[in-house]
Structure 1
Amino acid sequence: MNELGITFAKMMDILHELALSLTQEQDLLSEGQVNAALLHRVTENKNEQLATLQYLDHQRESLEKLSGVSRPPYDDNPALKQQWQTIMDMTEQLKQHNYRNGLLLAQHLVLNQQMLSLLEQHQTQRRLYGPDGQACTGQILGRKISV
């Protein structure tokens, strides 16, 4: 039973670390220009934390089977029930935080796509040099044919 409590404590520590990572991710996504390298590093940390959390959850399931403890929400053990409820509450908050970060990221993707479309449109409408290597002064509407 004590091992299960220790596992829950480790899970809560990882959830706290994950909350910090999500806050850092939100801060980066809220800036006008995203630091891609730093965002990548934060995302990698977040992925490692999620992998650790998954490992701890598997460990929790194994400990339940070995010790014969009831399954969540642990109604027969008030201490475990309280820890489990805290984990569930934290998980719900982190889910909402991650969802908001996803919205911010989606907005950045939309803005980047709009900028690319604008640049592509501008590039096709105005060419700086023609096929002969000479500067163009206007829009090229089609091929010029000299006779």
Structure 2
Amino acid sequence: MLELDNIFNSITVMLQDLSVILEAEQQILIENSSINQLSEVINQKSQLLIELKLVDEKRLKVSQQYNMQSPYSENQEIALKWQAITDMTQRLAQINRDNGILIQNRMNVTQKSIDYLKNMNNPSVYTYNGYQQSETISSERAKV
């Protein structure tokens, strides 16, 4: 049982670290500052999520050894820790979804800017019957 308790303590510490990383990611996205640090923060988040997955797999194995399942109602202390972990996980999942929305909005604005600039650099050409042609015709092909 002590092993399961230690795993829950590790998960709690890792989730707290993840919280700090997600909040830093959100701060970068909101303030539009230190955008160069965003890839580093995302790499830290990915690495921590991999570690969490491994620890959770260990939790599942140990739980099977003790013949226990979540929500661990057989042991009050373990059940309370598990509840705290699930609550924190839900909160972090919401922050991560919010960050995803911020990233998607930023990508949409960037794409609109790119499309606008493309149109400025590649003006529309009208064909002989008055329709717009989206590609530029070379001067050699144009009839004057």
TM-score range, shorter chain: 0.7 to 0.9
Deviation of the 1:141 alpha carbon: 8.1
Deviation of the 1:76 alpha carbon: 1.2
Give the match for residue 42 of structure 1: 41
Give the match for residue 131 of structure 1: none
- Unmatched 5+ stretches in structure 1: 127-139
Dislocated runs of 4+, deviation >4 Å: none
Listed as ranges, the matches of 1:107-126 within 5 Å are 107-125=105-123
Q: Deviations over 1:15-53 (max 9, x none)?
A: 000000100000111123661x31111001001111111
| Residue of 75, 82, 87 corresponding to 1:89 | 87
TM (norm. structure 1) is 0.82
Listed as ranges, the matches of 1:1-147 within 5 Å are 1-32=1-32, 35=35, 37-68=36-67, 70-125=68-123, 143=139, 144-145=142-143
The 1:54–1:63 alpha-carbon spacing in structure 2 relative to 1, beyond 3 Å, is same
- Number of residues of Structure 1 aligned to a counterpart in Structure 2: 131
- Unmatched 5+ stretches in structure 2: 125-135
Give the secondary-structure state (helix, strand or coil) at the position aligned to 2:32.
coil
TM (norm. structure 2) is 0.84
RMSD (Å) for aligned C-alpha atoms: 1.9
